[in-house]
């Protein structure tokens, strides 16, 4: 299993699952273009370059911005010349007591980053993949939204459910061009993604209490970690999953099977 010679774009790759996937894909030989609005993406790129003696391109900016999308496209056309794997991983989460208290701006933000960004990136990259008659698209959906609902996360659930619908549609549209499209759906994963949002209005004690409860209802009895998701994303990125398209792999320790 390797990604030697494969050109891979990963959005949302400066933290958590995206960061771990960037490191994992690099370990298995991928040539990377990393995109994130967090400046940390530069240090991750430098680390990968030094560790694997391989050039890594990075873009700091909002993946929904026309300027960043155009820059991504120009790097591909002028330097990389192809895209074998596109991993749409950028995402945000916002909490509310219920849908009546969810700000419209937070609803729009989650749809723009979690769902519309995938559409915008696909508009740029799919023509390149069609031209090369090959491509592998991976979208980060979520157990929450694509499989189960969860109170306080209306915008997140709706946008991630949309990711799964888009994944299936794109898989059907592009199969004739030898382009695959699948999704990975993390469950409760122990990163700062949810924690930082929760701590805006709650204490560390409340966070730890909630995590202990969640662990008690996960069949494996623990939160997942970014490595758990990266291993599944690696499988989807390689030809070991070559006959799969339009599918959703749920990485949740069994929670959604209950």
Show me where the domains of the chain are located.
7-191+225-250
Does the pTM surpass 0.85? The reply is: yes
Sheet holding 248-251, edge to edge: 57-60, 31-36, 7-11, 85-88, 135-140, 179-186, 248-251
The catalytic residues are 156
Report the pLDDT value the prediction gives residue 31, as an integer from 0 to 100: 97
Report the pLDDT value the prediction gives residue 197, as an integer from 0 to 100: 72
Report the pLDDT value the prediction gives residue 3, as an integer from 0 to 100: 96
H-type helices in 28-76, by residue range? 40-52, 66-75
CATH architecture, domain 7-191+225-250: 3-Layer(aba) Sandwich (3.40)
Q: Is 36 helix (H, G, I), strand (E, B) or coil?
A: strand
The answer to whether 13 and 34 have CB atoms below 8 angstroms apart is: yes
Report the pLDDT value the prediction gives residue 198, as an integer from 0 to 100: 67
pLDDT, averaged per 10 consecutive residues of the chain (258 residues), comes to: 94 96 97 97 96 94 97 97 98 95 97 98 98 98 94 96 98 98 96 75 82 91 96 98 98 95
Q: Which residue has the tokens 């300027």?
A: 67
What the block records as the tokens of 242 is 């070559």
Report the pLDDT value the prediction gives residue 77, as an integer from 0 to 100: 96
Strand partners, 179: 135
Residues 6+ apart with CB under 8 A from 223: 188, 189, 190, 211, 214, 215, 253
Stated length of the chain: 258
The answer to whether 216 and 9 have CB atoms below 8 angstroms apart is: no
Residues 6+ apart with CB under 8 A from 64: 112, 113, 116, 117, 120
Terminal alpha carbon distance of the chain: 33
């Amino acid at each position: 299993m390797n990604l030697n010679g494969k050109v891979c774009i990963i959005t949302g790759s400066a933290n958590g699952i995206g960061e771990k996937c960037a490191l994992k894909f690099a370990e298995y030989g991928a040539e990377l273009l990393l995109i994130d609005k967090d400046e940390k993406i530069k240090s991750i790129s430098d680390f990968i370059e030094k560790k694997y003696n391989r050039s890594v391109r990075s873009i700091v900016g909002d993946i929904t911005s026309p300027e960043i999308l155009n820059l991504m496209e120009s790097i591909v056309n002028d330097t990389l010349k192809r895209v074998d794997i596109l991993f749409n991983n950028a995402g945000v989460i916002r909490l509310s007591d219920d849908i009546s208290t969810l700000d419209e701006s937070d609803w729009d933000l989650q749809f723009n980053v979690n769902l519309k960004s995938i559409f915008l990136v696909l508009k740029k990259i799919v023509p390149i993949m069609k031209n090369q008659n090959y491509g592998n698209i991976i979208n980060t959906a979520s157990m929450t939204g694509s499989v189960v609902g969860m109170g306080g996360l209306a915008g997140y659930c709706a946008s991630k459910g949309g990711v799964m619908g888009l994944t299936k549609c794109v898989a059907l549209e592009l199969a004739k061009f030898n382009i695959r499209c699948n999704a990975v759906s993390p469950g409760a994963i122990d990163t700062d993604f949810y924690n930082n949002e929760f701590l805006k209005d709650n204490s560390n004690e409340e966070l730890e209490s909630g995590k202990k409860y969640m662990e008690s209802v996960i069949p494996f009895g623990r939160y997942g970690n970014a490595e758990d998701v990266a291993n599944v994303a690696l499988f989807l990125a390689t030809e070991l999953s070559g006959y799969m398209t339009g599918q959703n792999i749920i990485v949740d320790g069994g929670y959604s099977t209950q």
